Structure 1
């Protein structure tokens, strides 16, 4: 307060409830040091729910907000200055309006709590109405007014609720789009007659209970809501079965129907078998039609906006998102009245009014330790925390929290108070849901879950939550569909809980809790809480797996350095799902024979993955995937190895100590082998056998059922003709290793995999689009074939040189794409021959492939069900196609029934003197591939003899079946007669064919023939399949 100041003045325009920017009648303000400040506006500021101050100047360069004593007196107030405080009261009646305090010989006024931000010192809403608004999860004023007026709860009496205002936390958290009209009738007649269910997640921050998913259940009749927080969405079936049993016993009535969307967590055999067993009808909403599941969708909207406001008010960490949702659900079950029955969900379900006297404001915890303590003797500081970070202003666009939203393409957004009614219509909203569920007067921990002392139990309260003990779960980033609008992000728009991804035609990208920037240094990572959490998670894995022991540094011992590596993990849509921090050893400093011995470890070939997919599709077997968390940390090492302590995480008591390893560490040369041997020994101990030729394939046969497991380092694909074996395998692995059960196989090694009723589709559309974007060809002109029919490339000695790195990068990227795109195999392999000295003509040819990919980004392999499973090969060769060495190109493709699982295009090692010789050499290579596949089929329990190999050169066929020697064949190297031996044994049957499918791997074709062969190989566009 300033008695020498002629008028109130502040420097922050956000503090005004109304502001006039065009002020010409005011001169510049002169400060005490004779400096001047420009008057930029004049407006009004509210100091309470009843009082406001007019004629407040907005002054540039003002360091402190000044409250004019003279202007207060002119408004009918009097100021009493005491040694330690100042009291401002009304002249008429002496009613105290506010008080100030003395500090450093200045009288200051803070209209907020003692902890409030002084920049917001001209704003306060501490009336009882606003306090209850904040205590009850920031529900709408209309709801509070209605609840009190109709006497629907106990403990809410004689309170004035200001309907026409919003607190700033609500302005930041409750931005919603217009809704659809509500229904005017009730579809059900009693509780549990119809339950609406939805799943949201994975959330991008793991909750303090270790969960990343929320399973929401809403009763159609009462609108009572339960939410269960899960670590993995595969727990839905188990949780629902326990919920159903307990709910039916507790409320003494039966569940008739449940309604959900078509997500795999609901549309699966576990839920259907349970529903069939207990007589529950399961209804599904139509695809892409969230309106049909609108009850739970609308409930999600309500709860998310409340949770966002609660988190925003005190700036509470997003890791408490589950607690905020649980609190919002707990409050809404006791406050929101049914618009047709005029009762709260709690009363409709339990038959009595809820008591809310024990409610306190959400968000108060121990800032010093971050720990939550449960205690009875405690005082709650319910000061208006939201005003420390926000100022209530008329223009929501000026709110600091939402400034980041200004450039977001989310359509028209307008601030509005949350709807007070629980709609009874089925209307679209979002799938971010919460829960309460307790009839208790206090949120109690659930006895089914054991957590650390400092953790809050986030589980549903009314019906027990049958979930596993919390673990550090992967952080996920996903996307919002048209049925899940942007306003449902908890927290600020730049970091929020996002909903489960759905495969809809139209979607908008959601911001997430994970960091999108990969740090290049440890200092950068330490400045980002997301990466700090990732590093702590990695070190927790070391402790959990007992990887090392801290010891004094041995004299003369070799100590290997360590470093942090940071990577963002993405899903099949390219969304960042996890920030992964990996502590690795500097293995390049190891010495063979001292620090390591054998290092070889097998990994699955890509064709082995396709083989398994084809087998599973033919036998109508569902494949699943899981990965081992920090797999290398499970492998035992035999050598004595010391490593330095992790950078920036040294033991403060022993900073010079080193770690002695008992298990492998990422970066060590022997780490892959140590992990493979640990996994191999474990699976063999459990009764599995290793594949004859593929040592990453593990098989277990029981009666007529077969279980197959394919391993690629720490990623595991598995499936069985008996679904129960998959469940048992998951439990078995989880007991031995820390697993991440990803669920149904959808994305593996860059493959996007769709397991459909008619078959399996494998494609790399995301990789293709990323490749085009990386090489700046995403806007190129499409073309129908990857290469011209008249192309005759040579070294082009006089051509213009191009960037070797760019050219090789293109070739390498395209070679990986060939794993699901056999249609570009020949062109890529042909152009790869010029990587040593690429010219402009070669680069132009490669860009034509990219133009073709622009035309066909979603082409992939189709493995249909219900067809034969015979092994068949095609072999072909051109003649002297290489213009430099005049060598021929061998091509081949190999099918299991109609499923193309392997193919090749390779320049031969020698010059052939005739087309027969070239075809004969190609047939020998194809024979070797078929024998490999024959051995693999034995592991799957399939015995084959006389495998057909089709060739379009009759001379080559006769040369194989009739080993004659004459002047035109005697020079052929003995190694190429390999096929003769196996033809004589009956392993291979080489036959002549008129229609050669392998032509696509040996020569350029015109558009008509190219598209025909591509189609006959079942290389199809995703739009034809899905």
Structure 2
């Protein structure tokens, strides 16, 4: 990492031109009449099904006292769970202005600090509320059923993961994650494949939207993996801190996927694909993360990367009907115009789109410890002589770090092809 750091790539511009950038639409197979609701029919006059409510936002601690970071306990994989809080009666929620010991400790806690363990999070009101919200959402989704312990079955554990999202509102998320590394192939999982978006597909899709003046929106599916239906029998211990007081030794027989399961991405993509096919979409033969809908009156493209979705449509009305149809099956949130996708920052103006990877590049340099290095407009050195490798093998740790660095650089060349010289 002794070389000079490459300068942050300048924004790449997509500007509208008099003629289309791409002469014809990508070839697609003829669309057959699809069963299910039509996206071209007028909207129903009956009451629409409201999207699932994300629930009340957790209360934030009072900013009156100067924030001090909470003490971090030593992480443990399987700590002794506290008394159950989901099923047994619990004391009323403690507000940030209360004088109880828990509240005084949380009132001075840094609201941006992410707890390392659920025992610490249980002492902070807004994190405790986030855990309760997540647990109730899992129960409402019928994610599992409690069954008595069975002999000769593989049992996996789970843990709580806490995240402060990088949004303007500083929203937080507590997520229950399965320890999928304890799964056994052929016993509780088989297929794990889920398609990954191709960079070329992103470029073509954005070019079509700009040159043809089509709407370009981004959708987000809340708790996407939880919608995937499992075909295998997966048994998991009850969530830490939320064991059923009447059946504490029972196991969770998973009906739907959880984050952390090896087959979760595959199950979610299969469920979404089934829903899109019912609405008349077909997957592309060259990129299965792309779904196409073509009729004489409207053309729509959907690009899927896990729970992030890009929607390009020649008709705003048809796009709105599509979102309404998806909301009958999933908790879909329309984020408006596309602004951020896979490390790409997108800016809209009257003439087209501006794209940059500034934040991604800065994060890459920060991870490599090169954020303060002198920028270089030509990432390849023109003075150092090229020499052959000496054949010394890297240690396992260095090899992992090298592979990670190569992957990060590969992802950054989506807009800056000159960075490929860093691979030499």
TM-score by length of 2: 0.70
Cα distance in 2 for residues equivalent to 1:828 and 1:208: 44
2:302 and 2:311 in contact (8 A); partners too: yes
1:568 and 1:576 in contact (8 A); partners too: no
1:592 to 176, 179, 185: 185
Corresponding residue number in structure 2 for 1:544: 140
1:751 to 326, 336, 344: 344
Corresponding residue number in structure 2 for 1:815: 410
Cα shift at 1:756:
2.1
2:179 and 2:261 in contact (8 A); partners too: yes
2:205 and 2:312 in contact (8 A); partners too: no
Alpha-carbon displacement from aligned partner over 1:408-430 (angstroms, at most 9, x marks no partner):
xxxxxxxxxxxxxxxxxxxxxxx
Alpha-carbon displacement from aligned partner over 1:165-193 (angstroms, at most 9, x marks no partner):
xxxxxxxxxxxxxxxxxxxxxxxxxxxxx
**Distance 1:564-1:209 versus aligned 2 partners, 3 A rule:** closer
Cα shift at 1:608:
1.7
1:369 to 75, 92, 95: 92
Corresponding residue number in structure 2 for 1:580: 173
Corresponding residue number in structure 2 for 1:210: 56
Cα shift at 1:817:
1.5
Corresponding residue number in structure 2 for 1:535: 131
**Distance 1:642-1:711 versus aligned 2 partners, 3 A rule:** same
Question: Tell me, what secondary structure is at the counterpart of 1:637?
Answer: strand
1:622 and 1:755 in contact (8 A); partners too: no
Question: Tell me, what secondary structure is at the counterpart of 1:719?
Answer: strand
Cα shift at 1:750:
1.5
Cα shift at 1:211:
6.8
Cα shift at 1:739:
2.1
1:669 equivalent in alignment to 2:265: no
Q: Map 1:989-1008; keep pairs closer than 5 Å.
A: none
Cα distance in 2 for residues equivalent to 1:548 and 1:663: 7
Cα distance in 1 for residues equivalent to 2:221 and 2:273: 14
1:551 and 1:659 in contact (8 A); partners too: yes
1:681 to 250, 262, 274: 274
Cα distance in 1 for residues equivalent to 2:134 and 2:150: 26
**Distance 1:655-1:701 versus aligned 2 partners, 3 A rule:** same
5+ residue gaps, structure 1? 1-206, 213-307, 314-366, 372-385, 390-400, 402-491, 496-513, 831-1026
Cα distance in 2 for residues equivalent to 1:599 and 1:809: 22
Corresponding residue number in structure 1 for 2:364: 771
Cα distance in 2 for residues equivalent to 1:312 and 1:774: 31
Cα shift at 1:650:
0.9
1:516 and 1:576 in contact (8 A); partners too: no
Alpha-carbon displacement from aligned partner over 1:457-483 (angstroms, at most 9, x marks no partner):
xxxxxxxxxxxxxxxxxxxxxxxxxxx
Greater Rg by CA: 1
Corresponding residue number in structure 2 for 1:828: 422
1:515 and 1:579 in contact (8 A); partners too: no
1:632 and 1:675 in contact (8 A); partners too: yes
Question: Tell me, what secondary structure is at the counterpart of 1:626?
Answer: strand
Cα distance in 1 for residues equivalent to 2:365 and 2:181: 34
Corresponding residue number in structure 2 for 1:522: 118
Cα shift at 1:680:
0.7
**Distance 1:775-1:664 versus aligned 2 partners, 3 A rule:** closer
Cα shift at 1:796:
5.0
Q: Map 1:304-315; keep pairs closer than 5 Å.
A: none
1:762 equivalent in alignment to 2:358: no
**Distance 1:783-1:733 versus aligned 2 partners, 3 A rule:** same
Q: Map 1:329-478; keep pairs closer than 5 Å.
A: 369=92
2:362 and 2:371 in contact (8 A); partners too: yes
2:215 and 2:315 in contact (8 A); partners too: no
Cα shift at 1:745:
0.9
More helix by share: 1
Cα shift at 1:546:
1.1
Cα distance in 2 for residues equivalent to 1:674 and 1:667: 12
Cα distance in 1 for residues equivalent to 2:148 and 2:294: 50
| Matched positions, count | 334
Cα distance in 1 for residues equivalent to 2:270 and 2:197: 15
Cα shift at 1:555:
3.6
1:628 equivalent in alignment to 2:194: no
Cα shift at 1:538:
2.0
Question: Tell me, what secondary structure is at the counterpart of 1:617?
Answer: helix
Cα shift at 1:732:
1.2
Cα shift at 1:600:
1.5
1:688 and 1:699 in contact (8 A); partners too: yes
1:697 and 1:708 in contact (8 A); partners too: yes
Cα distance in 1 for residues equivalent to 2:215 and 2:197: 20
Cα shift at 1:733:
1.4
Cα distance in 2 for residues equivalent to 1:633 and 1:692: 27
Cα shift at 1:698:
1.1
1:515 and 1:531 in contact (8 A); partners too: no
Corresponding residue number in structure 2 for 1:606: 199
**Distance 1:601-1:778 versus aligned 2 partners, 3 A rule:** closer
Cα distance in 1 for residues equivalent to 2:295 and 2:380: 50
1:535 and 1:581 in contact (8 A); partners too: yes
Structure of higher RCO (CA pairs closer than 8 Å, 6+ residues apart): 2
Corresponding residue number in structure 2 for 1:410: none
1:701 and 1:707 in contact (8 A); partners too: yes
1:730 equivalent in alignment to 2:326: no
Corresponding residue number in structure 1 for 2:77: none
2:380 and 2:422 in contact (8 A); partners too: no
Question: Tell me, what secondary structure is at the counterpart of 1:736?
Answer: coil
1:570 to 166, 183, 208: 166
Question: Tell me, what secondary structure is at the counterpart of 2:231?
Answer: coil
Cα shift at 1:634:
0.9
Cα distance in 2 for residues equivalent to 1:644 and 1:554: 12
Q: CA RMSD in A?
A: 3.4
Question: Tell me, what secondary structure is at the counterpart of 1:543?
Answer: helix
1:660 equivalent in alignment to 2:256: no
Cα shift at 1:675:
1.1
Cα distance in 1 for residues equivalent to 2:157 and 2:120: 20
**Distance 1:806-1:685 versus aligned 2 partners, 3 A rule:** closer
Cα shift at 1:815:
2.4
Alpha-carbon displacement from aligned partner over 1:489-527 (angstroms, at most 9, x marks no partner):
xxx9x89xxxxxxxxxxxxxxxxxx94223322223223
Alpha-carbon displacement from aligned partner over 1:299-354 (angstroms, at most 9, x marks no partner):
xxxxxxxxx9xx899xxxxxxxxxxxxxxxxxxxxxxxxxxxxxxxxxxxxxxxxx
